[in-house]
């Protein structure tokens, strides 16, 4: 008998109104059923939002340093349970334990950053243009925050959103991706144990079209933070625009690594293996394009193919696994589709391109690491996000052409340049149109205390992480105190 999980609404663990559940299975082994999770709908969301409004009324009055103490305790609990959470996370989403431990660590870093922010949360005090008058700005919480998160970083991404939302004094309705509800469940338990008051946090499981949609459309959800596909982000954006909601979107990427003739090639090789095939390519920051300068193109590519063929696919919970399964069948199908697209566009399939079979692989969603060469700028496999273990290699003459290839896509999350030329490195920081540019490191590697996000159709201008995320989860208010005892008219009496 598998375990049946519940929502956390109104301060209690409750069954969904529909009485319906969905299965959560291990993507490395279909026979391994992790549990049944609530298929929630608008009725559950209605209860959750009503409760969150009560929670908000109380939590907004809790001093920010005290809210920070709760985040610190959540960080401590994550430290204590790091290995256990990594294990259950790998079981439900597949990436190897080294990666899921990193995912938990990112949550820990985010918790401790939020904890200290409780004693900062700065506003400004500036001189007034009038005598005997003070002028200052400060932050206020906004209300009920709807938090909708993806499967690929099942803990880190929820922490990026929920810790700053709570620290700023908002209440949260959290819907984790339906592929990773177990991590969401454990994270909710940790928040409650850390001291988040029951009605301040609501956990609503379910699928995007039902529970997610109901959260976005609920008039009392004042702000929404969504990480996921650009297509869904567009729908979320339309609703939030129509309803005048504050919205943070984090969506697709088509991130490129540019390797110049003068680069340290061994370093670049390690970088691209990790960037392209870590998390089985299922990251918004995945390296999905490799742009090689002509002098090193052939040599680099042949060594790369040798190394990729040696990557060990398997269960992420087994020692020695380099690449885990994909998340589900739809992800495999989408990747297969893009392999067809690449071939019909005339690119050269150098390795992979199909489902992986063999011992330990037949019962999971495994796909062979795939490389396409002779990819030309503008091909669909060079322009569109695949979100799988597929790398498209483009050959260029020089840095100018490499920069142009990098920039000529609709996305703009991260980019990476391998070179020993310091001038080119700084030019890249200025000229590559991305939210993050790495020099001599792959397209992944964001740290919790710096802003994370992208330009163009990757996002809508907001950032997660770092200091900037606190702007999203709080509203700036300005206070003027005139202690002159007389009417002083700004712009009039002082000039």
Q: Catalogue the active-site residues.
A: 250, 284
Which residues of the shown chain bind ligand UN1 in the complex (CB under 6 A)?
106, 152-153, 283-285, 444-446
C-beta closer to ligand UN1: residue 200 or 331: 331
C-beta closer to ligand UN1: residue 169 or 325: 325
Least distance between ligand UN1 and beta carbon 438 (Å): 10
Least distance between ligand UN1 and beta carbon 285 (Å): 4
Question: What is d(CA 139, CA 116) in angstroms, rounded to the nearest whole number?
Answer: 16
Question: For residue 174, what are the β-bridge partners?
Answer: 147, 203
Q: How far is CA 319 from the centre of its chain?
A: 26
C-beta closer to ligand UN1: residue 158 or 212: 158
Least distance between ligand UN1 and beta carbon 196 (Å): 24
In the numeric block, which tokens belong to residue 159?
């922490």
C-beta closer to ligand UN1: residue 213 or 283: 283
Q: Are strands 133-140 and 475-482 parallel, antiparallel or unpaired?
A: antiparallel
C-beta closer to ligand UN1: residue 11 or 451: 451
Least distance between ligand UN1 and beta carbon 243 (Å): 27
Least distance between ligand UN1 and beta carbon 250 (Å): 8
Least distance between ligand UN1 and beta carbon 162 (Å): 15
Query: What's the number of CA atoms in the CB half-sphere (13 Å) around residue 169?
Result: 19
C-beta closer to ligand UN1: residue 68 or 253: 253
Least distance between ligand UN1 and beta carbon 119 (Å): 25
Rg for the chain (alpha carbons), in Å? Answer: 24
242-277: burial string, b at 16+ Cβ within 10 Å, e else:
eeebbbbbbbbbbbbbbbbbebebeebbebbbbbbb
Tell me the residue nearest to ligand UN1 as measured from the CB.
Answer: 283
Residues 6+ apart with CB under 8 A from 337: none
Least distance between ligand UN1 and beta carbon 229 (Å): 12
C-beta closer to ligand UN1: residue 152 or 419: 152
C-beta closer to ligand UN1: residue 370 or 434: 434
């Amino acid at each position: 008998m598998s375990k049946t999980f519940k929502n956390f609404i109104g301060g209690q663990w409750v069954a969904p109104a529909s009485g319906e559940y969905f299965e959560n299975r291990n993507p490395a082994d279909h026979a391994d059923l992790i549990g049944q999770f609530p298929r929630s709908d608008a009725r559950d969301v209605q209860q959750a939002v009503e409760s969150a409004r009560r929670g908000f009324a109380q939590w907004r009055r809790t001093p920010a340093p005290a809210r920070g103490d709760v985040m610190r305790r959540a960080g401590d609990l994550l430290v204590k349970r790091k290995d256990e959470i990594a294990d259950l996370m790998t079981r439900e989403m597949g990436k190897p334990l080294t990666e899921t431990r990193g995912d938990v660590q990112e949550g820990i870093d985010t918790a401790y950053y939020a904890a200290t922010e409780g004693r900062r949360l700065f506003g400004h005090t500036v001189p007034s243009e009038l005598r005997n008058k003070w002028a200052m700005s400060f932050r206020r919480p906004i209300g009920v925050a709807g938090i909708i998160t993806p499967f690929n970083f099942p803990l880190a991404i929820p922490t990026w959103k929920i810790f700053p939302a709570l620290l700023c004094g908002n209440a949260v309705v959290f819907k984790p991706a339906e592929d990773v509800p177990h991590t969401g469940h454990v994270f909710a338990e940790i928040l409650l144990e850390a001291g988040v008051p029951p009605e301040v946090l609501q956990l609503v499981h379910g699928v995007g079209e039902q529970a997610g949609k109901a959260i976005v459309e609920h008039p009392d959800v004042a702000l929404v933070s969504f990480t996921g596909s650009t297509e869904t982000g567009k729908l979320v954006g339309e609703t939030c625009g129509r309803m005048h909601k504050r919205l943070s979107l984090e969506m697709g990427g088509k991130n490129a690594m540019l390797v110049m003739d003068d680069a340290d090639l061994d370093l670049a090789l390690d970088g691209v293996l990790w960037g392209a095939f870590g998390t089985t390519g299922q990251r918004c920051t995945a390296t999905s394009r490799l742009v090689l300068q002509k002098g090193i193109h052939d040599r680099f590519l042949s060594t790369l193919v040798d190394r990729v063929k040696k990557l060990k696919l398997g269960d992420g919970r087994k020692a020695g696994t380099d690449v885990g399964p994909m998340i589900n069948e739809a992800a495999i199908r989408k990747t297969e589709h893009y392999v067809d697209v690449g071939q019909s566009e005339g690119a050269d399939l150098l390795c992979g391109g199909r489902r992986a079979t063999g011992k330990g692989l037949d019962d999971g969603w495994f796909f062979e690491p795939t490389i396409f060469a002779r990819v030309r700028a503008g091909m669909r496999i060079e322009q569109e996000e695949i979100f799988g273990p597929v790398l498209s290699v483009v050959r260029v003459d020089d840095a100018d052409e490499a920069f142009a290839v990098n920039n000529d896509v609709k996305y703009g999350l991260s980019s990476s340049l391998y070179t020993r030329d310091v001038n080119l490195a700084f030019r890249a920081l200025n000229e590559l149109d991305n939210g993050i540019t790495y020099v001599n490191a792959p397209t992944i590697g964001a740290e919790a205390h710096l802003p994370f996000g992208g330009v163009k159709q990757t996002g809508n201008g907001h950032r997660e992480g770092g200091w900037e995320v606190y702007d999203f989860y709080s509203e700036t208010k300005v206070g003027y105190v005139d202690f002159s005892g007389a009417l002083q008219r700004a712009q009039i009496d002082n000039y």
